[in-house]
Structure formats: structure tokens, C-alpha cells
Amino acid sequence: MTTPATAAMPASSKKPQVQKEDAMWLQKELINRNYQELATAHERGKKISATFVPGNLNELLMCFDFARSLPETNQLQNGMRKKSGKFIMDAERDGQSEDVCTYVKSDLGMMLNGQVGPTGDPLPRPDLLLLSYTGCFTFMKWFELIRQKFGGETVMLHVPYQGDGKINPNMRDYVVKQLKETVIPALEKVSGVKFDIDRLRQYMRESAKAEEDLVAVLQSAKNRPSPIDGYFGGVYYIGPIFTAFRGTPDASKFYGMLRSEIEQRVRDGKGPITPDGEMTSERYRLVVEGPPNWTSFRDFWKMFYEDGAVVVTSTYAKVGGLYDFGFRHDPDRPLESLAEYCMGCYTNLNLPQRIDMICKYIEEYQADGLLINSIKSCNSFSAGQLLILREVEKRTGKPAAFIETDLVDPRYFSAANVKNRLESYFQMIEQKRAAQH
């Protein structure tokens, strides 16, 4: 999929702020702890669920004490650790086409290579594949493929697409009914735990708290200079909330800590922290559409901050939940709210909605333009991006540019190419500015 997250923030070579260090430390600890929980789940008598990032039902899964694995996150971790290239080739040798989504192949390759997760901990096969079918058709094939090859039970949550640019009551009722009559009974059966709606409400309360803080963090980029990078840094910010931690007190703690640190940066007039230290001059403010490349994540980011380009906001930071337009998990309407969450994730929006959102971002974040990172693997994001580019340029009058990479297939990252494109894009922005003065 699409997905984010739980990428650990690359360490800064300069001395980081104490609070920053705390948030980073906590995030790393969360990720590692989750992998350990997965590794030991069966010994501890727990069942393992796998589910996708967009539309993930983390709060619900917690009600059944599942250890929670997110396949896209595992693969992006493998990508960052340079393991995905081999996995992809192994999956291709095993019969997968070179044309299809590389997350799927990396996951299959990882499983073929003996169920060891990105951190080196064992990653046992999931007992339940919760196929919440949000924003991408490939998900369906992904879990069918795992089921075909390695067994396991699948349960489907079909989330209708916002083809008309809105959620109608029929769509919501359909999702709620599936939750009640298909998903929850399946979770009860596999876990042996009875569903308790009050437990769900409690987790959702925690989710809403963290969501509030996350939005404050992401919107801090409206300041000049932006105290964060909303794409490369954004990946680190969305990590816990888009994965196994939404709804936990740990996530609330993390986002509370992160928010106060970022607010301090705003008060101090500071720019974002990058792997090479604090960015001191903000020359270009960009909005980015599309997921990042994981196999060369650091080099990719460097091409931006070296030239003083900060990504003020990105659509990718919304794949696991779109919170900045007001949605919060609502404990008073738990199932309806879960349904709305699933239907509201970024890739479940139709093209006109995606364009509106990007145009709005360009205006609200005072961006110089739009950069699209088109991912070879991902039709869900990529099909239609060239029209998005044209429309956004037309409507905002700001320059837009297009680069092409892949998520986790190192064969499709050409550093020289990307760098050239970026440099000419920055020049284009300069020219536009000069023409305006």
C-alpha cells in the first residue's frame, strides 16, 4: 500500500534537543517493542493479526488482545534496511510478475525467507488476515496470495470508495453492518475473546487525544519557517498513530511529547531537524503527493534539505487517516466512527477530492508548488497523478513537478535522475518568483 510509517527518524549529527530526543527514543522503543510482542505472541498465548495501514482497525483489534502486524510497515522497514531488493527478486523467482506492487512481493519474499521480521526478530505467520479493503484493490490480492501460500484465515471489510466525493449513509451502514456481523464475530472466534464495546470506546478516546496532537504537529508547518518536514519527517510523526499504537496511552504520550517539542521549535523560530542537523534556511516550501522511496530514503531527503527545500505537507501523511479536516475517532458512535475513518483515508478519496485537498494545502501552507513522487508500484496513488499535476498547476498558478521512484524496489531509484529533476524544479520556482517581482 500506501503506507507509512514507523520509520525511525535518522539520527541527527548535531546534538538534538532533549525533548526531541525523548520523542525519538520513545518512538523507537515503541516500534521495537511491537516487533518483540509479535515475536513472542504465540508463546504468550496471543493471536497475531495482520492488517493494512489505511483503514486499519487498531482499536478494534486491541479489544481482542491481538498482537498487531502491518505488512506495509514491515516492508518499508525492510526497504530502509536494504533487505527488500532480495525479497522482491525471490518473489519474482517464485512466480510473481515484475509489473506488480513491490510491497506485496517484498512481503511474500520475506515469508519465503523464513518469517524473520525487519528487526531480526521472528515474525510468525498471522492467525488472522484482516483485509480492510480501503483505498486499494491490490490489498485484496495481497492477502489472498498470503492465504494461498501460507494458509491463515482472511476476513474482509469492504470499504466503499468515495466515487461521488462523499460518504452516503448507505455506505456507512454497509461498513457498520460488516463490522457487526462479519468482522467482530471473526475476531471473537479467532481470538477467543468476547467483544466489549466499552473497551473499544476507551481506546477510541485515546485515539482522539493523539489525533488532536498529531494535527497540531502537522499544521505547525504553516509557520515560517516550518518547524517540521511534513513528508520525510512526517513519516516519523505518523508512525505510531497509523500502525499498532493508535488508541494506546503510549501513543497519546508520544504525541503529547512531540507536540510540545514542536511548539517550542515554533516559539524559537527554528526549522526542521534533518539527519544532518537543523535546517537553517528555508528556501522552498513544497507540497508532496505520493509515498516516499524507502530504499534510498536518506539520500532522497538530502536532495531536498541540501537545497533548502522543506515539505510543508504531504498527502502521504494522510494515508492512514485524514484528521486535519476535523475527523476524530468518536467513542460515542464507535462503529459508525470506525466506518467513517476507513472511508475517509486519503486513497479512498476520488480524484477531484484529492485535487481540492492539494490546492487547499498549497494555499494554507503558502507553498511554492507541488511535487509528485510517482510510485511505479502503486496504481492506487499513481493512476491519475499527471492529471492532478495539470489541474493543480492550472488552479493555483504554482509550478508542479513530477519524479518517479518506487517504494521498496531499489532497481527503480535513480538518484541522478531524481536530483536533476529536483534541481530544475527549484530553478523553475526561482524563475516564477523573479517574474512576480
Partner 1 sequence: MSKVAAIIERCQALYEDLDFKAVQEWKNAAPKRKVVGYMPVYVPREIAHAAGILSVGILGGGDQLEVIQGDAYYQSYICRIPRSTIELGLTGKLDGFDGMLFPSICDVIRNLSGMWQILFKDKYVRYFDVPQNYEDNIGGTYYVHELEILRDDLAKLAGVEITNEKINRSIEVFNENRRVIRELYAYRAAKPWQAPTTEIYLLQRAGMVLPVEEHTQLLRDYLAATEAEPRQMRDNARVVINGTFCEQPPLNLIKSIEMAGCYVVDDDFMLVTRWLLDDVPSDGDALDNLSKAFLHHSASTSAKYETKREEKGQFLLQQVTERRAEGVVFACPSFCDPALLERPMLQDVLSAHGVPHTAFKYAENTGQMAPIREQAGTFADSIKLWSAA
Closest separation in Å from C-beta 396 to partner 1: 15
Distance (Å, rounded) from C-alpha 230 to C-alpha 233? 6
Name residues whose C-beta falls within 8 Å of residue 50's C-beta, 6 or more positions apart in sequence. 68, 69, 70, 71, 126, 128, 129, 130, 143, 146
Pick the binder of partner 1 from 21, 121, 122, 161 (CB under 8 A): 161
* Span interacting with ligand SF4, options 115-123, 188-196, 205-213, 375-383, rule CB under 6 A: 375-383
Site for ligand SF4 contains 133 (CB under 6 A): no
Pick 140 or 193: Cβ nearer partner 1: 140
Alpha-carbon gap, residue 83 to 86, rounded angstroms? 6
CA angle 43, 48, 54 (to 5 degrees): 155
The reply to whether 2 sits near ligand SF4 by the rule CB under 6 A is: yes
Under the binding rule (CB under 6 A), the answer on residue 214 touching ligand SF4 is no
Distance CA(72)–CA(91), nearest Å, equals 16
Q: How far is the CB of 80 from ligand SF4 (least distance, A)?
A: 15
List 89, 140, 167, 428, residue binding partner 1 (CB under 8 A): 140
CA angle centred on 84, ends 81 and 87, rounded to 5°: 140
Which listed option, partner 1, ligand SF4, none, makes contact with residue 148 (CB within 5 to 8 Å by class)?
Answer: partner 1
Residue 394 partner contact from ligand SF4, partner 1, none using kind-dependent CB cut-offs of 5 to 8 Å: none
Q: Does 372 participate in binding ligand SF4 (rule CB under 6 A)?
A: no
Q: Is residue 378 close enough to count as binding ligand SF4 by CB under 6 A?
A: yes
Residue least distant from ligand SF4 (Cβ): 1
Give the contacts of 60 (CB within 8 A, at least 6 positions apart): 179, 183, 184, 187, 200, 338
CB atoms within 10 A of CB 42: 15
The rounded radius of gyration (Å) of the Cα atoms in the chain is 21
Which SS3 state, helix, strand or coil, does residue 129 take?
A: strand
Residue 368: which of ligand SF4, partner 1, none does it interact with, CB under 5 to 8 A by kind?
Answer: none
* Interface with partner 1, residue 415, by CB under 8 A: no
- SS3 of 149-169: HHCCEEEEEECCCCCCCCCCH
| Pairwise CA distance, residues 202 & 193, whole Å | 17
Cα angle vertex 336, ends 335, 339, to 5°? 90
Q: Does 349 bind ligand SF4 (CB under 6 A)?
A: no
| Options 46-54, 304-312, 330-338, 376-384: segment touching partner 1 (CB under 8 A) | 376-384
Interatomic CA distance for residues 97 and 369, integer angstroms: 36
C-alpha cell at position 160: 466503499
Minimum gap (Å) between residue 265 Cβ and partner 1:
37
Q: How far is the CB of 320 from ligand SF4 (least distance, A)?
A: 11
Footprint on this chain of ligand SF4 (rule: CB under 6 A)? 1-2, 72, 101, 103, 136, 138-139, 377-381, 407
Footprint on this chain of partner 1 (rule: CB under 8 A)? 94-97, 99-101, 104, 131, 133, 136-138, 140-142, 144-145, 147-149, 151, 154, 156, 158, 160-161, 163-164, 170-171, 173-174, 177-178, 181-182, 350-355, 374, 376, 379-380, 382-387, 391, 404
